[in-house]
Amino acid sequence: MSRWQELTGGTSGTDYAARFAALARSGKDVHGEARFCAALVPAGARVLDAGCGTGRVMIRLAELGYDCVGVDLDASMLAVARRQAPELPWLQADLATFEPGPLGITADFDLVVAAGNIFPLLAAGTEAAVVGRLAAALRPGGLLVAGFGLDQAHLPVPPGITLPEYDDCCAAAGLTLVDRFATWDADPYDDGGYAVSVHRR
């Protein structure tokens, strides 16, 4: 069982979406991840939203002209995503065993994004497998972007993976670190408790 399932019981989709809707109504910018991704690849590029949740990032990217596919294991989150954007492809799958082909998806994405603390919330011990699956979904030269917390202040669970461990997983999957930031607004990384990492296949 993933740390996310342990934390939420797989029933938090509606509450999760409501929280971000309230933030948006209050005037808070909730599209930093999509804006970050849009700066890396041109409109029309193929984007896989890994751990897409309720679809906040992917729906925005689709609005900006990207060819998007979302995958998540949490049915309650996907139910919200499908209600909000029924025209987009939302797939239910475990990222540790994810294979695009059998799901009818071609594995040649220009960018894979894993926002929302995906890696610290995986089942313990599956991090390398997930990186490997996501790397395999990229075309040569494609980018894997992952943003996640590294300490208790930035996570709803105890920290599950360090940056050196994540980089080792990426290297083992044939990925090379391109850049690292402290926020989705591309602030320089300062050894703090949150990192956004960009790796290239």
Q: Is the pLDDT of residue 30 over 60?
A: no
Which 3-state string (H, E, C) describes 152-195? HHHCCCCCCCCHHHHHHHHHHCCCEEEEEECCCCCCECCCCCEE
Measured distance CA(125)–CA(31) in Å, rounded = 30
Distance of CA 21 to the CA centre of its chain: 19
Q: What is the pLDDT of residues 68-81, one digit of tens each?
A: 999 999 999 999 99
> What angle, 0 to 180 degrees and rounded to 10, lies between the N-to-C axes of helices 13-25 and 75-84?
50
Q: Are 52 and 38 spatial neighbours (Cβ–Cβ below 8 Å)?
A: no
Write out the H or E segment, with its range, that includes residue 140: strand 138-149
pLDDT mean over 174-187: 97
Q: How confident is the model at residue 102 (pLDDT cuts 50, 70, 90)?
A: confident
Q: What is the pLDDT of residues 112-164, one digit of tens each?
A: 999 989 999 999 999 999 999 999 999 999 999 999 999 999 988 888 899 99
Measured distance CA(106)–CA(191) in Å, rounded = 37
Report the predicted TM-score, pTM, of the whole model to 2 decimal places: 0.88
In which region does residue 47 sit, left (phi positive, over 0), alpha (psi from -120 to 50) or beta (all else)? beta
Measured distance CA(86)–CA(55) in Å, rounded = 11
Least trusted range by pLDDT, from 28-42, 124-138, 162-176 = 28-42
Q: Is the pLDDT of residue 198 over 90?
A: yes
**Domain residue limits, the chain:** 3-200
Measured distance CA(201)–CA(186) in Å, rounded = 21
Q: Give the chain's mean pLDDT.
A: 90
Q: Is the pLDDT of residue 29 over 70?
A: no
CATH code of the domain made up of 3-200: 3.40.50.150
Q: Are 126 and 18 spatial neighbours (Cβ–Cβ below 8 Å)?
A: no
Cα Rg for the chain, rounded, in angstroms? Answer: 15
Q: Is the pLDDT of residue 21 over 80?
A: no
Measured over the CA atoms of residue 158, residue 126, residue 166 and residue 111, the dihedral's sign is negative
